[in-house]
Structure 1
Amino acid sequence: MRLKDIYGNTNATGFSFDFFELTAPMAKSALLASPFYSTYDPVGALTSRGCDVRMIVRLCSVTTPQALRKAHLDPKVSVRYFTDQRFHAKFYIVDDVAMVGSANLTNAGLKSNREVSVILERYRDTAFDALPGIFDDLWGYADVLTDTILKDYERAFQAPGRPQSEDEFDKFLEKFVPKCSPSSIVVGSHAVNKQRAFLQRFRRKYDEILVPAHRRVMAVAQAHSFGRQEFKGADPQIEMGRFLGWVRLAHGAGETWKQNPVLQGEELDNRIRKYAELWKVADDIVLGDMFKAEAEIRNIEKIRTLFGDQEQLGALEYDDLFDVLTGCHAFLELLRFTNGGLEGLRADFKQRNALKDIKRTIDHLIRGGGDVVQRAYDCIHDERFRLQRFGESCVMELAGWITPNRPPFNSRTIKGLRFLGFDVEDFA
């Protein structure tokens, strides 16, 4: 079977799903735009062969949470979404070939409905050249599908009295998921709200790049008996945080952390395995840090217990709160820029930030409105919550320790990821 020039979902013309099966074997990257999405099969056909996929869908009465969750959990897929009916584009680009037409990413659209889709090739059809730019424009305005948004979308589908009609469901969905529209149908869309644009870039940095990279390191390492005796029984995130810090300090000192090539696929996994094995037999994993494994575990437990309970946070005196904050490596990094060691930092941070403001910021990061990325963004950029000498690394590391299923990030761990071969140098 070979790729046809047109698909009409008949035995004579071939079926739209054939496009994905035929392009998948050698595919490196795919861009998929479809308002309706209810089957993971075409996505899985691509990613199972190592293809990286970016996909834009519409959250609507047809797009199913089950299919979205499969894509969201696939480490080779990034998903963004619109909620507006006027996102209606249906086109799929796999490397140098595209399918453009009426077929959605549904079983009916790919296999049984009488659709018409044509094939465009980069080196044959001049119309192909415009498609990646159209996709990138849509991608830039679409919102990131996060764990929180997906859970809210699932809640909408499970809610009693969920409307079945498309129009009524769209209005109903606004109670659960913020509205997101393509640029072409928003009044004044070329003057995008600056705060929203910054927030989306911030969200994409973490949810689409850093979090998947961290999870890949964890998955590869754990598949090869990752773990030292000192951390046995503790949250694996604690050891992973120390591992990435150790990679940076022990093997990527100075500027050498960014001199390794960016890797993909098996080469990347092999490099992760190599350093996970070196970690297991290393004599010194502290490398001048203040805390050994036992103290590290205890520090994270304090963060989660004392900050995680609103009453206990409210009752903390400054010295006790400061001591809990020192469980964040990013906060301790401030010692490099502070006279007088730990006591100097204690006095300086107190002078710059009132106790009530510190508590308000921590409380907002843990229990404020929106998802954790929105709250973290507030704590970095919003004057109501921004603390002096408590920047992005401090906020994102603390956010990771107090948020289930979200890894902690600081400059050191990001540099460790870059040393291992991930393309994250611009974020370090």
Structure 2
Amino acid sequence: MAAPFFTTNAPIKALTDKGCDVRLIIRFSPITTPQALRQAFENSRVKVRYFTDSKFPTKLYIIDDIALVGSANLTHDGLQANRELSVLLGQDRDDAFNALRGLFDDLWNDADVLNEEVLRQYEKAFKSREKPQDEDAFERFIHKFVDPATPKSIVVGSNKKSKERAFIQGFRQKYDEILVPAHHEILEVAQQNGFGRPEYAGQDTQIEMGRFLGWLRRTQGSGNGWRETSLLSDPKDRAKRIAEYVQIWQSTDDTAKGDVYHASAEIENIANIRTYLCDPNELAHLSFDDLFRYLTGCHAFLERLRFVSKDIGEGLSGLERLRIDFQKKNTLEAVVRTVRYLLSGPGDAIERAYDCVYGGYKLNGFGEAGVMELLGWGDPRRPPFNNRSIRGIRLLGFDVEHLVAGE
């Protein structure tokens, strides 16, 4: 579904109540309401992308084998009150049907991903007393809150997105459209099935979830087992598999299973990240050794042990060799600068993560998995992800194998 103006969720709810998945493209405008966007965004069967350009006029609705193209917006007036004109096309009788699907896919690929942070900025803008009603003025106004998102076809010479924007949108698609919803689905089903071991009682649920997904990968999906289980497209089938593994998790005697940290140590590690790395004042006074120790609370960083040359610090422990290697490649000032920017910097978290993986805040030996796990521990609105947890999500039936960094 694509429409510049969006104020009613009724048609979307009618579809999702029947088990349909919906892709929705809208435009930030003085008409599109944050309330409608919030309802769509919080519907697990809906993915939302957006433009900010006032020249995005498309009203296109494709449902199974029919398409509706015309003048009707996704508003109460557009669907029920106004005298709109639309044309109905069928896949079995109209050659243009497939062209319309291609047009939608082009728009979808070019639109920006709506995530929680962008939506909060839109809500803030909409409440502003300075919000104009004029379309062109609103476009200039909204760019004070979010970056421009423009259909490529309306700008001469813009056949391709900038490399940076393309990478950032790839990040948003990977995390905000696929992994975050999958994580929420797993947690919801797990909690419905008695998830919660006593050693994690009273703690942030994300800590046990991280441990659970890592445990799944190591115990139930060792080797290539995590990618050899069947994919499950039906949420009911995924819920059954999740419930089965939750029962095993609840009854096991070894939640660490040869891993580095048990529950008490895991809880302490996350507390240290949130106390010392998320607070710029605390961070500024850390020695390199302390900073390194707190970063090792991220499993993705610890997995770098496999890549450290044995020639470094012969006779020392693997952890000490990792510290020496990391310190050779990064100064204390560089690490502090990156951690401060990632966890406490301004603007959108995904854009900061991009800068820490590909841009001017990149550290040697601390890649995407480490960045996204650290960001998740530091930001209560974002789950932590690393390669191990993504493999655990894949084992539960989600199609995420291609999202493992380096795979």
Q: TM-score, normalised by structure 2?
A: 0.95
Provide the rounded CA distance (Å) in 2 between the counterparts of 1:344 and 1:395: 21
Indicate the residue corresponding to 1:420 in structure 2. 396
Partner of 2:381: 405
- Once the two structures are TM-superposed, the CA of residue 118 in structure 1 deviates from its matched residue by 2.3
Q: Corresponding residue for 2:313?
A: none
Instruction: Please tell me the root mean square deviation across aligned C-alpha atoms, in Å.
Output: 1.1
How far apart are the structure 1 equivalents of 2:62 and 2:218?
A: 41
User: How far off is 1:75 after superposition?
Assistant: 1.1
Which secondary structure state, in structure 1, belongs to the residue aligned with residue 334 of structure 2?
A: helix
For the pair 1:277 / 2:254, whether they are aligned, the reply is: no
User: What is residue 222 of structure 2 aligned with on the other side?
Assistant: 253
**Match of residue 380 from structure 1:** 357
Q: Does 1:227 align with 2:204?
A: no
SS class of match (2:284): helix
- In structure 2, C-alpha distance between the alignment counterparts of 1:187 and 1:281, rounded to whole Å: 61
Cα pair 2:25 2:48 within 8 Å, conserved: yes
Q: Which residue in the other structure is 2:330 paired with?
A: 353
Write the letter of the residue equivalent to 2:199.
E
How far apart, in 2, do the equivalents of 1:239 and 1:94 lie? 40
The alpha-carbon deviation at position 197 of structure 1 amounts to 1.0
- Superposed, which structure 2 residues align to 1:279-298 within 5 Å? 279-298=249-268
Identical counterparts, % of pairs: 54
Equivalent residue of 1:315, what SS?
coil
Cα distance in 1 for residues equivalent to 2:52 and 2:363 = 35
Query: Distance between the aligned counterparts of 1:398 and 1:94, measured in 2?
Result: 40
Match of 1:152 among 121, 146, 151: 121
Q: State the alpha-carbon separation in 1 of the partners of residues 138 and 248 from structure 2.
A: 53
Give the counterpart letter for 1:341 in structure 2: G
Please, which runs of 5 or more residues in structure 2 have no aligned partner?
Answer: 311-316
Q: Distance in 2 between matches of 1:98 and 1:358?
A: 52
- Detail structure 1 runs of 4+ shifted over 3 Å in the superposition: none
The CA distance in 2 between the partners of 1:413 and 1:337, in whole Å, is 20
The answer for the alignment partner of 2:166 in structure 1 is 197
Whole-angstrom distance in 1 between the partners of 2:176 and 2:90: 32
Residue of 298, 301, 311 corresponding to 1:328: 298
Amino acid of the structure 2 residue aligned with 1:362: V
* Residue in structure 2 matching 1:369, options 346, 360, 378: 346
Aligned-pair CA distance for 1:194: 1.2
* Alpha-carbon distance in 2 for matches of 1:112, 1:139: 28
Q: Residue type matched to 1:399 in 2?
A: L
Q: Helix, strand or coil for the counterpart of 1:199?
A: helix
Give the alignment partner of residue 124 of structure 1, picking from 93, 96, 109. 93
Corresponding letter in the other structure for 2:167: F
CA positional deviation for 1:164: 2.3
Helix, strand or coil for the counterpart of 2:2? strand
Distance 2:353 2:161 in 1: 21
Offset of 1:284 from its aligned partner?
A: 1.1
Q: Distance in 2 between matches of 1:396 and 1:188?
A: 34
Spell out, residue by residue over 1:189-215, the C-alpha distance to the aligned partner (whole angstroms, 9 max, x if none): 114211111111122111111111111
**Given that residues 7 and 76 in structure 2 are in contact (C-alpha distance below 8 angstroms), is that contact kept between their aligned partners in structure 1?**
yes
Paired residue for 1:5?
none
What is the alpha-carbon distance in structure 2 between the residues aligned to residue 255 and residue 65 of structure 1? 44
Return the letter of the residue paired with 1:417. Answer: I
Write the distance in 2 (CA, Å) between the matches of 1:368 and 1:140.
Answer: 28
Query: Which residue number corresponds to residue 343 of structure 1?
Result: 320
Shift of 1:179: 1.6
What runs of 5+ residues in structure 1 fail to find an aligned partner? 1-31
How many Å apart are 1:288 and its aligned residue?
Answer: 1.1
Q: Does residue 1:106 correspond to 2:65, yes or no? A: no
